[in-house]
Amino acid sequence: MKIEKSNSQLVPQKMTNWQGREEWFFNREYTDTYEEYYEGPYKRAEVWQKKILENLIVKDQRVKTLLEFGCGTTRFTRWWKDIGIEATGGDISPFMLSQALHRFDGDLVMADSHYLPFKNNSFDAMAFITTFEYYKNPIQVIQEAARVARYGIVFGMMNRNTPKLIRRRTQQAFGRNNFYTTATFYTPKKLIELIHQALPNHKFTIEWRTTGLPKWFPVQEWNLPLGDFFGLYVKFENKE
């Protein structure tokens, strides 16, 4: 019996596109080296990003469980337990999740953040860490997050108000950085406007902090909208 080699792929070609466009997180050239990026040039930035996210969410002592969507390889998902929060991870990319399975000992789900496969109030909070920038329908994603999260939503965002924006777009123009090709960069003000638009009938407060400032700068986090990264927490009031 002759065995023929199959030309089928683990992920069919049509699945390399999401939301009608090619995305880097369906390309193993990028997903296989994702963790190396954090262990290399992004290490210092990650430390400060986690500091501001922790300072924002631990103030809400109601939060004990969290769903992080766009969890990728679970770089941040693995960290939530360090601040006393039990995390679950979700992502649309099978390549990212295949790595997550070997790195994270919690629950994982493969799904689209526009259509979360969870009942109302399934988790105390939801988190989007450097993933919200890739959603074509951010209003729908925010509404889904508010449905699934009981007490709040935390965002970790690449800030538009940074000198690095010019570098990012220049790299894209010369085909040197495909991570940001489909990304929409927000400012704290713009994200807050979207949240109010998405949740007109919710009562909530918002707090945010910015980091990603130069090493030589006298502070590394502040409440001005300048810096490479900002964390923002939407705290729901009296939501059942």
CA-CA distance, 73 to 96, in Å (whole number)?
A: 5
Query: What is the token pair recorded at 237?
Result: 């009031």
Q: Which helix (H) or strand (E) holds 229?
A: strand 229-236
Q: What is the pLDDT of residue 96?
A: 81
Q: What is the pLDDT of residue 236?
A: 97
CA-CA distance, 180 to 178, in Å (whole number)?
A: 5
Partners of 91 in beta bridges: 110
CATH number at residue 169: 3.40.50.150
CA-CA distance, 223 to 240, in Å (whole number)?
A: 30
CA-CA distance, 140 to 37, in Å (whole number)?
A: 30
* Structural domain contains residue 20: no
Instruction: Decide if pLDDT at 82 tops 90.
Output: yes
15-63 confidence digits (pLDDT tens): 455 555 566 555 666 666 666 666 666 778 889 999 999 999 999 999 9
- Longest CA–CA separation in the chain, Å: 72
Q: What is the pLDDT of residue 7?
A: 44
Q: What is the pLDDT of residue 4?
A: 43
Distances 21 to 4, 16, 18, 45 between C-alpha atoms, Å: 33, 8, 6, 29
CA-CA distance, 92 to 137, in Å (whole number)?
A: 15
Going by the DSSP 8-state scheme, the letter that residue 48 receives in this structure is: H
Four-residue CA torsion sign, 43, 49, 53, 56: positive
pTM for the whole structure: 0.84
Q: What is the pLDDT of residue 99?
A: 82
**Domain count for the chain:** 1
CA-CA distance, 230 to 206, in Å (whole number)?
A: 13
* Structural domain contains residue 9: no
* Structural domain contains residue 123: yes
What percentage of the chain exceeds 70 in pLDDT? 75
Dihedral class, residue 222 (left if φ above 0, else alpha if ψ from -120 to 50, else beta)? beta
Q: Residue 190 is part of which domain span?
A: 29-236
159 touches 230 (CB < 8 A): yes
* Structural domain contains residue 166: yes
* Structural domain contains residue 10: no
